[in-house]
Structure 1
Amino acid sequence: MTIFGAIGAAGSGMTVMRTWLDAISDNVANANTVVATSEDAFATRYVVAQEKAGEDGVRVAGVAFGSAEGRLVHDPNHALADADGYVRHPDVDMTSQMTQMIMAQRGYQANAAVVSRATESYQAALQIGRS
């Protein structure tokens, strides 16, 4: 792999990690979104990554969604409560989201370090060529 190939592969990894972090932030932001029992709950987002065909690196292949069924919570004082006193909350697992956030952050940092090291190597090679 060339220096530019390493930068391209790591750059694509950074893009996937950033998209993953965006999905996690959507999930966390909507973890407490309440809807009426007649509506669908917020569906957790999951980023689907895929190897680039014939190239180094990865790409975002799409986004998968969790169940919109959510979970019913008895809250008779809520404005959206049904006749039985229930509302629908999303089924967002905050522990899982925080774990995924740490993994995505570390993945982003690792790819950024590869870009930085490859850039430094390229600049060093240019300095050698000038001598």
Structure 2
Amino acid sequence: MPDAIGIAGTALTVHRKWLDAVADNLANVNTATATSGDAFRARYIVARADASGQGVHVDGVEFGDAQGRIVHEPNHPLADADGNVRYPDIDMSEQMGALIMAQRGYQANAAVVDRAKETYQAALQIGRN
């Protein structure tokens, strides 16, 4: 049982970091910058299975395009001489889909930890009797 808890625990960590990245991306979807600067870069978590086969870990982070998308908003305080500002190139529907997958993965692994803990406690009770 401790192996099940450990493996699910590694997945909980990966899913939490994934949720954090998606939340950050969604929070910055409307962050405007001047066209002379870089747009907010979306963050994407890269996960890999452990070499030992005992779980997963975050292998790195990849970032979206700093070019973003140019939007004509002449009244925006950051608008350039042509009336353009730069926004991140973040697809809201893609991020919402990722949010649902990360939430479900987190919930599933939390359930595995709970069930493994219950099973371990039941085995201890049997050993005491």
TM range (shorter): over 0.9
Mapping 1:1-131, distance limit 5 Å: 3-131=1-129
Write the deviation string for residues 70-120 of structure 1: whole angstroms up to 9, x where unpaired. 000000011111111100000111100111000000000000000001000
> 1:62, CA displacement in angstroms?
1.0
Give me the whole-angstrom Cα distance separating, in 2, the residues matched to 1:80 and 1:95.
Answer: 27
Classify the secondary structure of the residue corresponding to 2:61: strand
Aligned residues with identical type, % of pairs: 65
- Classify the secondary structure of the residue corresponding to 2:35: coil
| Structure 1 unaligned blocks of 5 or more | none
**C-alpha displacement at 1:11, in angstroms?**
0.3
Q: How many residues align?
A: 129
Q: Distance in 1 between matches of 2:16 and 2:48?
A: 15
User: What is the DSSP-based 3-state SS (H/G/I as helix, E as strand, rest coil) of the residue aligned with 1:50?
Assistant: strand
1:25-45 residue CA offsets vs partner (Å, 9 max, x unmatched): 110011000000000000110
In the aligned structure 1, how far is the partner of 2:48 from the partner of 2:36?
36
**Normalization by structure 1: what TM-score?**
0.97
Deviates more, 1:49-58 or 1:95-104: 49-58
CA distance in 1, matches of 2:114, 2:90: 35
Measured on the aligned residues, the alpha-carbon RMSD in Å equals 0.6
The 2-side partners of 1:54 and 1:76 are apart by 56
Unaligned runs of 5+ residues in structure 2 are none
Task: Give the TM-score taking structure 2 as reference length.
Answer: 0.98
Q: Secondary structure at the match of 1:120?
A: helix
